[in-house]
Structure 1
């Protein structure tokens, strides 16, 4: 019987709702396929629908397809989506999880004996290895040495080849490279003596097993016929070597990635395999996903400008480095994102007197967002180093705003969550009533601290409620997903999903502001994002010395910007401590963003310090104040307008409306978003000042030489017509 196109179980039904590029990616079932997917363009949607389409069409056997990603959380999310799409049974794992499973299965056949235990942490063994060599080192140095060993292993460097191939890497942990190579060998000896293997050995031993034993390699290749690799820009040489062995010369491979989101080079990750994919696979189908469904045009423009600024500088940087006899790293043309969302608020770039003032200002903005209906769970404060979180923790606590520190105690490890899971598992043995899973979950968790209204304030009671509320929200989410497919969710299925998420540490959303480092924010998104501490020395970080390292810092900021759906705030602080001397400079990466926003260089917005300020200081002279009430201005938009948000406008409303109408038509003619021509704040200043000449226009914040050249004549014509109409 042939299924009709409207049949939700028909193969083509999986492709419904995909855009043109996503549909091309999802319907191209034979490899090799390379999907270049920008931030927020729906890459996970594209590849899960591709797999589900292939399974429904009978092209893929779900048990013979391996989808590989880089975190257990991402793998769990992929499995959950595939189950919802009617493609259960697909193996979605991290490289390490897939390799470990194969290693454990084939160890008796390929190697024999008892498989060694896996070492949790290297520091203990490194301490003994250093002692054998009579090397004295502290714990912090040992962590650096452990990181260097990890880098060497994923880069396929042995203790013997390290010195020859490590290049000009900085001495790790305070020891020279020759001493490190000896320590590396000593560590391997201690590990062998104790019959242990480490995390990287799982990949190395699996690679060795596949290379040395044709029986094992043949069996693995028989098991897995098709491969999908997500976040391909983060593949290390060792992971690529393992992938090649899995493939065994076949080309049924689909890779997905974005070179502009390469932020883990320090771990051995390299975008080279993604960028050179078509060289290795000349017949590959390449699909570019550039429609951004996550962020507003204003946020997307910030991301595009940040990368375009480096592209514009590429020729100069290459010439300069080559003249100095230094290596000039390539900068591939980035994907230029095109937002699919409605326009949102203009991003802000602010400068503050010190870290405490910055934290207080951010807390005030979070409070204002909360009053406008933005949930705290949809707000994040992101920073370069974990040590920066303290000021925000203190400011949020003082304001009575709950938060969660990403990277601290894991959600499923919390005592109240473990107790709740035990109660839910017990209840799954009894079928739920007619009310369904969401109501049953609420009834059970009501005895564990959940109630409809959140308790006031912060503390243990509030934290317990937030944990229970997260589980309730998860029940609603999974129930809605099943309902959309015409299926009914049972308690047994729900607890099974919880167990899988617990194993993968795939935590649900908890109500509270997220505090996280930029690296740990990869793969996440929020309605409002605050990028804090954007100072030279933090962004880029002090130890980013080479152009390659600075480029990685730029990509890290790009990842931060693209986490925001609607509200984006970027800030810096002149001094670290209250009353300190303001010697810090805003990040160099903010310059093109300020130019795009029409802000002066450097940003003149400086929040009042929590400490005393010299009345004759430069900071005070640069503080922008409202020309109506005299208050300190707190956003870039206010600085442009030279008035507070609450103070009355001083321009002709009719003229302002006329300028907006002109801008809309002009932008449509140029095929660009309206705010790219001029922002609302700039139009307000123009309507107020009525500039007539080029010189007068250049004095308006937001009108630079470039915009004057592009839009100046048309704008002066509108102003002239408006003036004549008013006279008439």
Structure 2
């Protein structure tokens, strides 16, 4: 990104009328309702730059906060490009941790406790002590519930009453009292071990501010102006920390979109955004509704979908020219849907759309297997979101380390040339490898670094700035774009965008999800679909499958499609569905007719194992592995994770979750 020294007038000229209002509102409480794709990050970063340029802000006295390291890194990079590198752009956790570490010796004394990076092992230990289920899924759900209770400022003693009042389901079918005991034991075990978790960082910082007026005063003298991005995602815990930072002052600008509230299950609440003008009656309220991301065709669908989301919504107005109509399709089953989407991606690639600009967005991780299999068969590169593991790859670590150390004393070299030099010793070549597999994966990862460096050269960014950006990306776990299709959940896709987006399996039970019962839970599922729709810039494909293995009868199309699904597509399709059923029956009969006794024994053992897991985690058996997948595994009889990964329906997610157990079952059959 090119670092610009812009005058106040130049800054305003780069904005539309509503964004300009945001930039010029440099005092008092400001609430910005910003629809998807309307340039909210642009508006608030230009507001900061404009305030600095006009003397309204001291860059050292601004704190801009958001909820993910990736978003904070993006905000910081934009501020650097606008000539405001000294402004602090952090997550709530990062800002609180910085303050807690600084004041700990003065406020408490001694060394600050170690932060528990992951709750899983401690939660698992506590669950076992209470005689609770300790499988991976249950422990993950228990840990999430502990986080929700802390973000909601609910103590173990109040947990049962709050659960009853909120009609919130308890994970693992536990009683509220049993879950409260687990939360209490977790807190006791943490204290005994002398560690704190990430929620404690916020709680301890709040306690320090509320109980030490001298420390609170120093923090408030340091930060005079606050900006909060994605304010619809703030929790009760986060709001209390923000109130502590403010100390009754009103130099606050918040920006958010109630229609993108999709983390209520984790403690987020858009009530603070919606009631902002109640808390601050003199607040200026500005609406951003000019959509610069999506075509009119996509925006029309988005506006129709969001109309039923149960929140104050921003009706978007596309600023782009018309393009292709949104595509709607129904398929016989999940396998046909996945293979046809893979074929469409092949066509898009042939027409010039980069794979990095294509995404398949799903409601749950468990849905990815059929798409992974279809893309592998079509020889299409893909990546599972997110890229947390990218910077842990050895070839990437070595290349980045060499680039950063060399960049400190080599300002005359272009970033691209230096990156190529550093990457060439780690598996990168000028030409694309002819073969696939691990060699091509390694090359793709390094090529993404080369592409990033080339882009920064074109933008006039200095070598040192590129090195700093790489270090920021490592901290934010924000990898450069790989030349691969992204497979992600709708939750993980928030804040991202692609040229072409596929939204498959839009059926009842998935969206809305089967566990969503209350009107508010259904509304949140509606908002989740809206988020998915608004990730698409130019092409949007929406589909569902009429049958699903392991279920009886037809799948019902999602109720959220009722007002947008073309009537002409609702024609009887008995022939197609019948042929799909016939294919399944033929495959099943062939297995029983042609398999030897050992293969059938393996299949029966795998089914028995699946039933055991199904009863433990209380999830439908087909979400673990479909019968067709178990039959294929029984036929292959793999003896390693690599070999198991070749079976139909075994994607990376399921391989990681169940792979070792499946291999153990097969070993017992030998």
Provide TM-score, normalisation by structure 1.
0.76
The Cα RMSD (Å) is 2.2
Hey, what does 1:350 align to over in structure 2? 329
Quick one: distance in 2 between partners of 1:357 and 1:582? 17
Match of 1:502 among 474, 498, 501: 474
Hey, what does 1:285 align to over in structure 2? 284
Hey, what does 2:485 align to over in structure 1? 513
Q: Is the 8 A contact 2:232 2:261 kept in 1?
A: yes
Count of residues in Structure 1 that have an aligned counterpart in Structure 2: 579
Quick one: distance in 1 between partners of 2:171 and 2:305? 32
2:354 matched to 1:375? Answer: yes
Quick one: distance in 2 between partners of 1:177 and 1:69? 32
Post-superposition offset of 1:582: 4.9
2:562 matched to 1:583? Answer: no
Quick one: distance in 1 between partners of 2:576 and 2:393? 38
Quick one: distance in 1 between partners of 2:544 and 2:186? 42
Hey, what does 1:19 align to over in structure 2? 16
Quick one: distance in 2 between partners of 1:379 and 1:517? 14
2:58 matched to 1:61? Answer: yes
Match of 1:146 among 136, 143, 146: 143
Quick one: distance in 1 between partners of 2:132 and 2:483? 48
Q: Is the 8 A contact 1:356 1:577 kept in 2?
A: no
Hey, what does 2:193 align to over in structure 1? 194
Hey, what does 2:245 align to over in structure 1? 246
Provide, for residues 306-340 of structure 1, a one-character-per-residue CA deviation record: whole Å limited to 9, x for no partner: 122x27xxxxxxxxxxxxxxxxxxx2331110000
Post-superposition offset of 1:121: 2.2
Q: Is the 8 A contact 1:534 1:571 kept in 2?
A: yes
Hey, what does 2:602 align to over in structure 1? none
2:518 matched to 1:546? Answer: yes
Hey, what does 2:44 align to over in structure 1? 47
Q: Is the 8 A contact 1:417 1:468 kept in 2?
A: yes
Relative distance call for 1:334 and 1:280 in structure 2 (3 A) is same
Q: Is the 8 A contact 1:350 1:606 kept in 2?
A: no
Hey, what does 1:460 align to over in structure 2? 438
Post-superposition offset of 1:591: 1.3
Hey, what does 1:566 align to over in structure 2? 538
Hey, what does 1:392 align to over in structure 2? 371
Quick one: distance in 2 between partners of 1:289 and 1:398? 43
Post-superposition offset of 1:87: 0.5
Quick one: distance in 2 between partners of 1:300 and 1:263? 19
Q: Is the 8 A contact 1:128 1:190 kept in 2?
A: no
Hey, what does 2:582 align to over in structure 1? 613
Q: Is the 8 A contact 1:132 1:186 kept in 2?
A: no
Match of 1:92 among 86, 89, 93: 89
Relative distance call for 1:105 and 1:54 in structure 2 (3 A) is same
Mapping for residues 190-269 of structure 1, pairs under 5 Å: 190-269=189-268
Q: Secondary structure at the match of 1:36?
A: strand
2:30 matched to 1:33? Answer: yes
Mapping for residues 672-691 of structure 1, pairs under 5 Å: none
Q: Secondary structure at the match of 2:424?
A: helix
Higher gyration radius (CA): 1
Quick one: distance in 1 between partners of 2:37 and 2:572? 29
Q: Secondary structure at the match of 2:90?
A: strand
Structure number with greater CO (CA < 8 Å, separation at least 6) is: 2
Q: Which moved more, 1:110-119 or 1:524-533?
A: 110-119
Hey, what does 1:424 align to over in structure 2? 403
Provide, for residues 486-516 of structure 1, a one-character-per-residue CA deviation record: whole Å limited to 9, x for no partner: xx512x3322221121111121111010011
Q: Is the 8 A contact 1:351 1:606 kept in 2?
A: no
Provide, for residues 579-619 of structure 1, a one-character-per-residue CA deviation record: whole Å limited to 9, x for no partner: x865211111111111xx4544478699789855389xxxx
Provide, for residues 144-181 of structure 1, a one-character-per-residue CA deviation record: whole Å limited to 9, x for no partner: 22211111111001112222323232233232111222
Hey, what does 2:154 align to over in structure 1? 157
Match of 2:456 among 444, 465, 478: 478
Q: Secondary structure at the match of 1:558?
A: helix
2:76 matched to 1:79? Answer: yes
Post-superposition offset of 1:479: 2.7
Match of 2:447 among 442, 449, 469: 469
Q: Unaligned regions of 5+ residues in structure 2, if any?
A: 585-670
Quick one: distance in 2 between partners of 1:508 and 1:527? 16
Q: Unaligned regions of 5+ residues in structure 1, if any?
A: 1-6, 312-330, 616-728
Post-superposition offset of 1:134: 5.3
Quick one: distance in 1 between partners of 2:74 and 2:267? 25
2:308 matched to 1:335? Answer: no
